[in-house]
Structure 1
């Protein structure tokens, strides 16, 4: 097991002190708060997101004492060559300790209206980028005998939503990767788990034509009668990224207020 390395900026304290984290989709609705919480727990975060305005918002919300540990990398994850070059720079001198595959696109329309190219575009961002990130991180994790990988899946895998075929398919692929990687990488001290968020009030909900009706739909299905917050997702991710989760692997943990109970 590696000992936490020194990082730039203020002396870091917390569960992730000294850990180097790669986080895709880090500036989005759920990623924004998780990134801030990881910085507060002492992590050095390499935040990959293509949305300039969201990146600016994340930077503005980052406390000055923690800003040196946040590396905002504006990149389109579908750009394979650019992504590989970025990852090579990140891992050139030090290994990554944690990889969070969170970035996703979610076009919505009936299955018959999707072209094969549109399916491929969703797969490129939602799945292939995770493959590339894992390929870059694995050698360092294996060498140090420690690693945490967290894939963000979705409640939509339970089958309650229409018009999201490429997205649901991609999340199913991530769940398959979670289980395959957990089995294969466990011998090197690397755990691989998935988080399945429920219905959170983020930009993703804007695809629904009846917002009030959708909120009622959510509340009717949840056992916990409140909307989820980004802090709820952050808490689960922080735990799975920590030393304390070292005997948990290959799991898909629903963070959904008790919507799906398996």
Structure 2
């Protein structure tokens, strides 16, 4: 099979929440594959630091940054318009922005529920909608939403995160139902337990770490690099007839009892 199916050289990609963690790994993976990448983050200094580092490795022509609030409709519309105007047609959108808030449901404040759901789910709707306006007009485009094993599973103290990731799964399907007819492919990646800054405390907890290793058939934590391969496939022409799917990258966690 020709490797040209997987070639994304020169394509423009926007990755939300890409100043660190999974989002940064995805951005670096896209850059390694030849794409032009627009980084996004809410913290201007962290975004600037990441932007400077990646420019040093890949060059200013291929690495750009835009700090905007993905939960704000006007800001997302302005940012996507800026990408289209300054970078060229947006080919690939990765909705990765997300946060966690661990507290039992009975102690969960409404404001914290809404903050998590807005950041993890509403943002994907807002940025995805703006990107789709342009993609539909061109008859092509790739949207990859980052879900989680929590799209299918649940555990105590992370209810808003679980609800938001379940929402990502069905938002992906809803986008497919409306936009696939216009040449777009919209899919999701559902990472398992990935070792990042967000999960460092869990990795450092001996009891939880032992549970993860025992619960995961691959018997290890995932790494951010594990997400890159599936992402590049979904972002390429090789996935031209893949639509509305959730690809679990979890070491087998969701297929065993």
State TM-score, norm by structure 2. Answer: 0.89
Shift of 1:147: 1.0
Q: How does 1:1-262 map to 2 (within 5 A)?
A: 15-51=7-43, 52-53=45-46, 55-57=48-50, 59-92=52-85, 94-206=88-200, 208=202, 211-261=205-255
Closer, same or farther in 2 for the Cα pair 1:202/1:182, shift >3 Å?
same
- Count of residues in Structure 1 that have an aligned counterpart in Structure 2: 249
Q: 1: CA distance between counterparts of 2:53 and 2:159?
A: 36
Question: Going by fraction, where is helix more abundant, 1 or 2?
Answer: 2
Q: Deviations over 1:217-256 (max 9, x none)?
A: 1111111133322111011111100010111111111101
Shift of 1:143: 2.0
Q: Deviations over 1:190-216 (max 9, x none)?
A: 111110000011122145496222221
The 8 Å contact of residues 223 and 257 in structure 1, kept in 2 or not, is answered as yes
Unaligned segments of structure 2, at least 5 residues: 1-5
Q: Deviations over 1:75-127 (max 9, x none)?
A: 33234433332222222473311111111011110112222222221122112
Unaligned segments of structure 1, at least 5 residues: 1-13
Q: 2: CA distance between counterparts of 1:158 and 1:135?
A: 25
Deviates more, 1:71-80 or 1:132-141: 71-80
Closer, same or farther in 2 for the Cα pair 1:193/1:209, shift >3 Å?
closer
Alpha-carbon RMSD: 2.1
Q: 2: CA distance between counterparts of 1:209 and 1:107?
A: 17
Shift of 1:151: 0.7
Shift of 1:18: 1.8
